Amino acid sequence: MSSTCLSLLESKFSEGALSTAMDSKGLISFAQRKALQYKASAKTLSKQLRHASEDVMRKNTIIHGERVRFQETIARLEASVQDSSKRLCREARDLGKELLVIKQEIVSTISHDEQLHSSHSDLKIKYAELLEESKSSQKQIQNLKNMNSDLWRESESYYLKQKAHIAQQDSQISQLQEEMQEMQRREAKLKKKLDKGRMMELRRLQKLALLEEVGTTLLKTCIGSEHNPVCTIVPEGPGAEDSLNFRIDKLVALACAQLDMLVDRDQRKEGT
């Protein structure tokens, strides 16, 4: 009869402990694997975000340098155009003065001899040459203005392209930041699940300890003491085994109720 009691106790304890251990350990191992995966993903996203930020800063520095050099080139060209315009204006004024002098000389010497007429012809030729030079200078000024306009258009187009590229990179950085925040939220959830699994494991160990204590008490009651080796809770006669099972179930239920009371007390402490 004592061996029957021992086999019944061992079967009940092994089934409950095995199912509880498998559930809690599986949940903990799954949470730990997921936490490691999310940590690795978060590190990768952080590296990508740092590299993207460095790339954007480096490109912004290059764009700023190119704009400064372009503005310096435009300033030099504008200064050159202004100097050329001033020089041509001075030459035009000088030519106007010379032309006025020539006209006065022509009026005063129109009745002179052939030498003066030849000189007048030379002056006309010189005046025509000066007019051609003035037209050529005006063409050069117009070409410089056209070149300046082309350079401004190219710089504006390049600036808009770079601005769009930077905006795209800012959008990618924002997306990476959102993904990283989502990973952090998932990691926090997994940490909560891991803490819950650890608490379940602790409660399982408490339950096993309590069941072990109950089993020890039952064994001592069934086997008896050293001076009285008689099973005190096992009745004799028909229906004895059912009565024993009923008493064992009653003791196990009492132990589970005590464990539930301990769990409720721990939960109330955690809530406060």
CATH number of domain containing 99: 1.10.287
Whether 250 contacts 13, CB under 8 Å? no
- pLDDT band at residue 151 using 50, 70 and 90 as cut-offs: confident
Q: pLDDT at position 9, please?
A: 45
Q: pLDDT at position 13, please?
A: 43
Residues 6+ away with beta carbon under 8 Å from 141: 81, 84, 85, 88
* pTM listed for this prediction: 0.30
Exposed / middle / buried, residue 100 (Cβ in 10 Å: 0-12, 13-18, 19+)? exposed
Domains of the chain: total = 1
Over residues 71-119, the pLDDT tens digits come to 888 888 888 888 888 888 888 888 888 888 887 877 777 666 666 567 6
* CA distances for 71 relative to 59, 76, 77, 121, angstroms: 18, 9, 10, 49
- For residue 189, give its domain range: 2-271
Q: pLDDT at position 116, please?
A: 59
